[in-house]
Structure 1
Amino acid sequence: MYAHSTRSHIPQPPHSAGTPYKGLRAAIDPNQIPSPIDTIEADQERWDDQTYMTLPGKHPPLSTTDFVAMDQGNTSPRYIRMSTWNVPSNSRLASDCEIPIAAIIQPFADQDPREEPVPLVDTGEIGPARCERCRGAIYAATKQKVCHVSFVFLVCYNLLIPRVRVRAVMPEYFCNLDANMLRLDYLQRPELNKGTVDFAVPEEYWAPHPPPSIRPLYHSMLPEPTTSRRIPVPMDYVFAFDVSQEAVHTGFLQTACNVLIELLYGRDDTIPPCFPPSSRIAILAFDRTLQFYNLSTDVDGQPPMLVVPDVDDVFLPATSGLFVNPAEHRDAITNLLTALPARHKQSYETEAALGSALSAGLAALAGRGGQVVVFAATLPTIGVGFLQPLVDEAVMYGTEKERTLFEPREETWKDLGEQCATEGIGVSMFLGMSRSIDIASIGLVSSLSGGEMYFLPKFDPGRSGAVLASQFRRLISRTTVYSCSMRVRTSVGLRIAAQYGNFYEGAASDMEFGTVDADKAICVTFEHASRLDDRQYTFIQSAILYTAVTGERRVRVHNLALRVVSLAGNVFQLADMDAAVSYMVREAVSKLPSMRLTQIHEALTERCALILYAYRKFCAAAAAPTQLILPEAFRALPLYILAMMKVKPLKGRNVAADVRNYHAHKLSALGARSVMHHLYPRMLALHDLDDTTALPDENGRIQLPSLMRDSHLFMESHGVYLIDNEDMMMLWIGSSASPQVLKDLLDVDDMLNIEPRLTHLPHLPTRLSTQVRNVLAQRLARRGYAPRFIVTRQNMDGSEIEFSDMLVEDQNNAAMSYLDYLCLVHKQIHTALTTGASIASGGGFRSMPW
């Protein structure tokens, strides 16, 4: 679009220090080393006009691909993504291949609008058909064995001796067979022909009341329940606002109150409301006291305030009037949220009892479940779970005390998270602090209850207000369920080895969540319990019991059939790098409390080398040892392993503990797509867009521009680049950028006139502005929120360091460049092939110089 006579590549922008490669380095052209971009774009092109059919035996679309799936009785990879779609038949083969058998399960992932919605099956009081032995639900793969008098459950059938393999069908499930030996109602029963099904469930599936806590965190004034199970009701919300001096003076409280009003009631005709119409809300303010409000009545336009002054002894001051429907009490709620910031404007309270506020939210929702959304800006130095300011954390890195930065300093926060999870309450936090708030401690409540954290340090309404509004809207509007219990089952021969994610694992190894939403995923790894038969399929079933936001109790079942193979080549053939990488980053993050960062880095590198060495040894043994041979599915694995070492939880050097712990919490629950985009940010050259790119064609479809590699080696001084890692979006402007490009994109013709605090692109009638805004709109629609937007100019703005650190192929973030790292991995594999040394031994990566 904008021609230049000269093309000058830039030197590496200012960045955090990296680690050089020591030793002889092969002369490799950076343009020739494997890149994920070509694979990602080729896969997207393949599935643009093709529907993915979910029957087993083929490679599904990548997690980064937008695709349409047709459920043929096997669940979509949108919900379950396997690290290999061909399961090794025995533990020896699995060990030889070194590919972990892992599933990334995202039970409520957003569907493509062109796909059929998940069917809802209501079998009345009998509930879903389940096996008497394994308690698994009926599976669509049994369609040819389901008849008018009996059916087989494939999850456990190998356990059953022949005479008891077949389970009798309930009378209500009786149906005759057709000439093909299929039930006449086969097509009318989604549970027999779909891989993902919702079941409406009867009373026996209602959430039980948890037993009394050994360490109660509040005094309950409610009567003892008269039944053993809770009646499902629409999800209620408690909004808790920090009204301490810092929250008020930074504008954090004002912004939060304004955004909540918009979410509840909309603004003019531009911002529609998005709050669930059947839900109720309660509002709580906290500093040195807890301030409840009776929203059912108002006096002189303001709801009465009920104060609990003792934050060490939490109780509810009222049993009625705290929860109301927002539509029915609009005036009281609007008046309160409008007056709250002004009421505390002259406050000199510097302390806020966050733990007590969370205990109060737990007390308010106990017995029915729901969600607590808290806005906090101050370290909780008083009340329940009070914390002392953290000593200088920089001196702890590289020592045995390093791991304590990732552990809670007060066990009360763990108790809070566990009690919220068992009560069916999810806790989400917006953190707008200017000093450390000890996320390792307070964040445990969100991690254990299935909630989410939003990190807005040094909150500034001008820069962070739009981000908070976008995140808050996504939190309320996305699919969210509560009072959840999840279990994953496998057919005979496999068993659960470990489970990773933000949940509380109960005594029976069930995963308990206060809330689960569309953006949350968990990871389950499997190991062999016995040999699998490669003439049959192996099966995985995920079942999550939940209460919908509208109050219906349901169970969502995902069923997956996988081929069993006996050759290493077949395992690698259908390996899935997206799922494998998502598992490996979760495993690495989970080791932060028990291992030092250098040890985690060594373990990641060792795993990378082992996988690539296994492929060379068992699938490409005839190739010369000097050749770098990579499996097709894992061509970019070294790059993603290196990127893991550069993300904030795992990178070297000094990173604030709050920053590490926030990103560790986030990575532990991201779906595979978000993980891949976070590890390898998407980067666009905006100055080189074609005239038709990102503009609607005659059919209204938009062709997105091609991505570029994350390295300064491919950037030019006249360029304008956009990079996006899901958490932050940065616009980098080269020092020689064309004035016409600046005019078309930012409405200025000189770099010096660019507003560095710009939070969004201006709406201009130019073609370039329209193209870029179309790209951003597509990403907003896909993920549901807008990340932070930052403009940085070459050699002018301090934020350029953050931009450069997102170029993961460069030498930065206390780690090597991609080229150097690839040389290191290749050297180790070559040594193992020529000398027979074990990569996992002391002569492996652990002895390599860094």
Structure 2
Amino acid sequence: MMNGHIPQPPHSAGRRPQGFPTRINPGQIPSATEAVEFDRHQWEDATYYGHPGSHVPLSTSDYFAVDQGNSSPRFLRMTTWNIPNTSRLAGDCAVPMVAVIQPFADLGPGEDPVPLVDFGEEGPPRCENCRGYINPWCVWEQGGSAWKCNLCGHSTRVASSYFSHLDANLRRVDHDRRPELNVGTVDFVVPSDYWATNPPQRLSMPYFSLDPPPTGPRQPQPLRFVFAFDVSNESVQSGTLLSACTTLHDALSSFPPQSSLAILTFDQTLHFYDLSSDSAPMLVVSDIDEVFIPLRTGLFVNPVDRRTTIEVLLKAIPERFASMPHVHSALGPALRAGLAALAGCGGHIVVFQSTMPTIGAGALPGEPQEANMYDTPKEAQLYAPRDNTWREIGADCAEEGIGVSMFLTMGRYIDVASIGAVASLTGGELFFHPRFNPARESSVLQSQLHRLIERTTGYNCLMRVRVSNGLRITDQFGNFSKRGATDLEFGVLDADKAISVTFQHSGRLNVRGNAYVQSAVLYTSVDGQRRVRMCNVALPVVELAWNVFKLADIDATVYYLARHAIAQMSTEKMVNIRDDLTENCSSILLAYRNKCANTSSVDQLILPESFKSLPVYTLAIQKSKCLRARNVSSDVRNYWAHRMMSMSVRNIMHTLYPPLLALHDLSPEAGFPDPTTNRLVMPETMRDSHTYMEAHGVYLMDNGEMMVLWIGGSVSPQLLLDLFGVDDLMALDPRLPSLPILQTHLSTQVHNILAYRRLSRGGRIPKFFIARQNMDAAELEFSDMLVEDQNTGTMSYPDFLSVVHNQIKQVLQHGGTLGGGATMRSSVW
């Protein structure tokens, strides 16, 4: 395919390795793309049954999973699917022991839905000792009158209503009719004992109310939304307010049937609306220091029942505030108003914000002098809230079971580190649209709001992860609030969010048995039912390092390395974080060399099969927008840190190493259904490097957030005609918001591929940019996504591999440790 290549874009900037690099042939180094494509082809016609000790598909592959006791890797993925039997072996392997849990993940096409089990007022059977839930890995005893917990080994007698005799194999005779005994992922309906409890009354409330705060258990209710619109001058002038109102107007039919919503607007005052009245009168609260709700009824309505009233109001709001814009935006008081409206029931606050809050609670001073803080100890201050009020608001919302999501459409600095902390602490999401352009990004905004409303969501969530005897939990990473040492609290938790949990040995594990992980999320569904989402996995225990590496999972390991690095942003210098990442990568490869590889020359770099792509993914983490060396605004860094601390394994792999497609080289059948399987034929992706590109080619790069179409300067006029309907590169409009739909074979192919990707992301559309070679600014974004090149202030993949190799050689030849100090291994083990 590649007879020549283009020169590296002149605006790419990086650094060479220090010292004398080992010469490495770029054509012979391991390719992440080859591993991804091999795995994709291996699993596209296969079924994954989840047996302990079996190979697991990569997160980037599309597979069909059958749950036979182990939860699908979509829900729970391990860094190694074989657990070391001792802490010594775990330390020798240097593979972090981590579970990545995405409890509400979307199922694959045709997969069985998660079963819903109702035990009535008795609730699901639980261990009397560790409070673990009944699951397929429990052992039945005493003729079926008791079960032995696989987590702690304690025997618990069953209620008479749940008793069943055992057959000759010591299985319950009703085993096949009990979903909780057959599948690893189950939803339990739970009784009133599991209801959320209102927070204890405080001496100082964040809002004013004539009524005393609710106490005791709260009855589950269908999900309530509060939509809060910034109506300040910035929002009006940028077109954000009109686009936000139009987007919500178009999404009204997507709301869950029993849900309800309220609408709030704010500038330097707060504006509430009585939606029970056809005229939807506006009530203004000017006291933003002591926020209160000015109406008892009519604030929340069903979007279907009151659709006409809501539509009229959404059309009127942009016109109403266009004539009287204010400069200030009281975001803090608006969030406290949402907190007051949802207190006692929980829900979801969705904010459209266009400017930095400068008035009321959490008012922020001017923009910091970022340029003077980079590469100094003060830089860490850019990645933490400047006002602790935002942490307090986030903690208050999480405690009340309220999630906060924000659409940020600012034209200048907005301090994502401060206001974004509310979304991070409540399990919400940030949607980032700097210099918002309605013509280009309205469809993106619409797809994001639809996904927010329609995806599987639980609210008022409490999560606990349990592990079997001999293991203990040491740390958790993600966007949540911690309640005590073991429980994680989420205002909302949805299908796109995942958390990671690290483990440590507390004793020696039995190599003849399994280790177990069980995650349980207590939540309220959108239709108002209290449930527990349970996920289980059984993992073989091994005593050889080779077995640990044999079933090591590169996706989960890279996921952990990224989150571990991001978690240090507010305390460590960026250069130290990047150096630690390099040493952590070298530690794993050195451990394999020492424990598993045959004796060979120290000049030979030995890579385990499971971790062949680890160096390039480690380099990709260093080049991510939150950690890269080039000066990046703190808002951009903080947004990407928030995203990567919440996104799924699949999304983070595509973000770190974006798929690159050569559209000029598609086979005729690519992008069309296979006549035998009826599955869309997806083309092969290529390596992220200019070395493999051609000046006459057209390439598509998509990291899930942004999609860039790069067009070479020597492109064929026929290609342009097939894709854009013009035959001259200079006549092509680089500001096109999307690829035009044409009646050509190539256009149909590309649109089918994009539709498939959009479906796999739950309908979310990335921003679209065109980059003509050496002509358009979007080429900078494209070249920065070429991970294997020398760019973003960081070295190329061959040079980075040389650095890793030299670190390993140094230890092999002279002994000691990598970097001469503590690495990630000491913090994990």
Instruction: Indicate the SS of the match to 1:495.
Output: strand
In 1: Cα distance, 2:3 partner to 2:241 partner: 49
Matching residue of 1:848: none
Q: 1:497 to 1:842 in 2, by over 3 A?
A: closer
Equivalent of residue 210 in structure 1, options 199, 207, 221? 199
Question: What's the TM-score once normalised by structure 1's chain length?
Answer: 0.95
TM alignment of 1:610-689, pairs within 5 A: 610-689=587-666
Structure 2 residue 774 is matched with structure 1 residue 795: yes
Instruction: Indicate the SS of the match to 1:334.
Output: helix
In 2: Cα distance, 1:512 partner to 1:558 partner: 17
Structure 2 residue 702 is matched with structure 1 residue 702: no
1:15–1:805 CA contact under 8 A, matched in 2: no
Equivalent of residue 753 in structure 1, options 731, 736, 743? 731
Equivalent of residue 72 in structure 1, options 56, 65, 68? 68
1:84–1:575 CA contact under 8 A, matched in 2: yes
Structure 2 residue 466 is matched with structure 1 residue 486: no
2:48–2:66 CA contact under 8 A, matched in 1: yes
In 2: Cα distance, 1:525 partner to 1:508 partner: 14
In 2: Cα distance, 1:336 partner to 1:350 partner: 23
Report how far residue 145 of structure 1 moved.
4.8
In 1: Cα distance, 2:757 partner to 2:703 partner: 11
Report how far residue 319 of structure 1 moved.
1.5
In 2: Cα distance, 1:668 partner to 1:842 partner: 27
Report how far residue 144 of structure 1 moved.
5.3
Question: What's the TM-score once normalised by structure 2's chain length?
Answer: 0.98
In 1: Cα distance, 2:10 partner to 2:105 partner: 38
1:14–1:800 CA contact under 8 A, matched in 2: no
Report how far residue 322 of structure 1 moved.
0.3
Matching residue of 1:52: 48
The C-alpha deviation readout for 1:597-626, integer Å capped at 9, x for no partner, is 011011101101111001001111412211
Structure 2: which amino acid aligns with 1:786?
I
Matching residue of 2:814: 835
In 2: Cα distance, 1:52 partner to 1:764 partner: 39
Matching residue of 1:356: 333
2:71–2:184 CA contact under 8 A, matched in 1: yes
Equivalent of residue 589 in structure 1, options 566, 573, 583? 566
Instruction: Indicate the SS of the match to 1:85.
Output: coil
In 2: Cα distance, 1:145 partner to 1:640 partner: 48
Matching residue of 1:137: 133
Structure 2 residue 186 is matched with structure 1 residue 194: no
In 1: Cα distance, 2:417 partner to 2:374 partner: 16
Instruction: Indicate the SS of the match to 2:701.
Output: strand
1:499–1:525 CA contact under 8 A, matched in 2: yes
Q: 1:215 to 1:401 in 2, by over 3 A?
A: farther
Q: 1:484 to 1:842 in 2, by over 3 A?
A: closer
Instruction: Indicate the SS of the match to 1:584.
Output: helix
Equivalent of residue 412 in structure 1, options 377, 384, 389? 389
TM alignment of 1:500-511, pairs within 5 A: 500-511=477-488
Instruction: Indicate the SS of the match to 2:144.
Output: coil
Structure 2: which amino acid aligns with 1:795?
N
The C-alpha deviation readout for 1:1-38, integer Å capped at 9, x for no partner, is xx9xx943111114342111233334332121001111
Equivalent of residue 82 in structure 2, options 80, 86, 94? 86
Structure 2: which amino acid aligns with 1:110?
D
Instruction: Indicate the SS of the match to 2:39.
Output: helix
1:387–1:410 CA contact under 8 A, matched in 2: yes
The C-alpha deviation readout for 1:346-374, integer Å capped at 9, x for no partner, is 22311110011111001000100010000
**Identical residues among aligned pairs (%):** 54
Report how far residue 728 of structure 1 moved.
0.6
Report how far residue 222 of structure 1 moved.
3.6
Instruction: Indicate the SS of the match to 1:344.
Output: helix
1:837–1:843 CA contact under 8 A, matched in 2: no
Matching residue of 1:261: 249
TM alignment of 1:501-580, pairs within 5 A: 501-580=478-557
Structure 2 residue 85 is matched with structure 1 residue 97: no
2:127–2:155 CA contact under 8 A, matched in 1: no
Report how far residue 181 of structure 1 moved.
2.4
In 2: Cα distance, 1:844 partner to 1:484 partner: 34
Instruction: Indicate the SS of the match to 2:322.
Output: coil
Report how far residue 143 of structure 1 moved.
5.2
In 2: Cα distance, 1:562 partner to 1:843 partner: 29
Report how far residue 844 of structure 1 moved.
10
Structure 2 residue 253 is matched with structure 1 residue 236: no
In 2: Cα distance, 1:229 partner to 1:338 partner: 39
In 1: Cα distance, 2:186 partner to 2:798 partner: 46
In 2: Cα distance, 1:437 partner to 1:146 partner: 64
Structure 2 residue 759 is matched with structure 1 residue 781: yes
Matching residue of 2:257: 277
The C-alpha deviation readout for 1:724-747, integer Å capped at 9, x for no partner, is 111111000000000000100111
Say which is worse superposed, 42-51 or 173-182, in terms of deviation.
173-182
In 2: Cα distance, 1:228 partner to 1:843 partner: 47
Structure 1: which amino acid aligns with 2:660?
M
Matching residue of 1:270: none
1:687–1:741 CA contact under 8 A, matched in 2: yes
Equivalent of residue 772 in structure 1, options 728, 740, 750? 750
TM alignment of 1:374-385, pairs within 5 A: 374-385=351-362
Matching residue of 1:172: 161
The C-alpha deviation readout for 1:546-592, integer Å capped at 9, x for no partner, is 00001110001111110111111111111001001101100100000
In 2: Cα distance, 1:135 partner to 1:490 partner: 11
Structure 1: which amino acid aligns with 2:716?
S
Instruction: Indicate the SS of the match to 1:483.
Output: strand
Q: 1:348 to 1:177 in 2, by over 3 A?
A: closer
Matching residue of 1:183: 172
2:140–2:148 CA contact under 8 A, matched in 1: no
Report how far residue 792 of structure 1 moved.
0.8
Point out 4+ residue stretches in structure 1 off by more than 4 angstroms. 143-147, 842-845
Q: 1:498 to 1:823 in 2, by over 3 A?
A: same
1:221–1:319 CA contact under 8 A, matched in 2: no
In 2: Cα distance, 1:156 partner to 1:343 partner: 62
Report how far residue 309 of structure 1 moved.
0.3
Matching residue of 2:796: 817
2:22–2:806 CA contact under 8 A, matched in 1: no
TM alignment of 1:211-360, pairs within 5 A: 211-213=200-202, 215-225=204-214, 228-264=216-252, 273-298=253-278, 302-360=279-337
Report how far residue 55 of structure 1 moved.
1.5
Q: 1:717 to 1:294 in 2, by over 3 A?
A: same
Equivalent of residue 27 in structure 2, options 5, 28, 31? 31
Matching residue of 1:162: none
In 1: Cα distance, 2:174 partner to 2:530 partner: 25
TM alignment of 1:718-757, pairs within 5 A: 718-757=696-735
Q: 1:733 to 1:540 in 2, by over 3 A?
A: same
2:140–2:146 CA contact under 8 A, matched in 1: no
In 2: Cα distance, 1:512 partner to 1:235 partner: 17
1:221–1:316 CA contact under 8 A, matched in 2: no
In 2: Cα distance, 1:147 partner to 1:773 partner: 60
Report how far residue 828 of structure 1 moved.
1.4
Equivalent of residue 9 in structure 1, options 5, 11, 16? 5
The C-alpha deviation readout for 1:342-401, integer Å capped at 9, x for no partner, is 001122311110011111001000100010000000111101111111221111011111
Q: 1:350 to 1:568 in 2, by over 3 A?
A: same
In 1: Cα distance, 2:173 partner to 2:822 partner: 64
RMSD of Structure 2 on Structure 1 (CA): 1.5
Equivalent of residue 149 in structure 1, options 122, 142, 145? 145
1:283–1:292 CA contact under 8 A, matched in 2: yes
In 1: Cα distance, 2:21 partner to 2:821 partner: 23
Matching residue of 2:429: 452
Say which is worse superposed, 486-495 or 13-22, in terms of deviation.
13-22
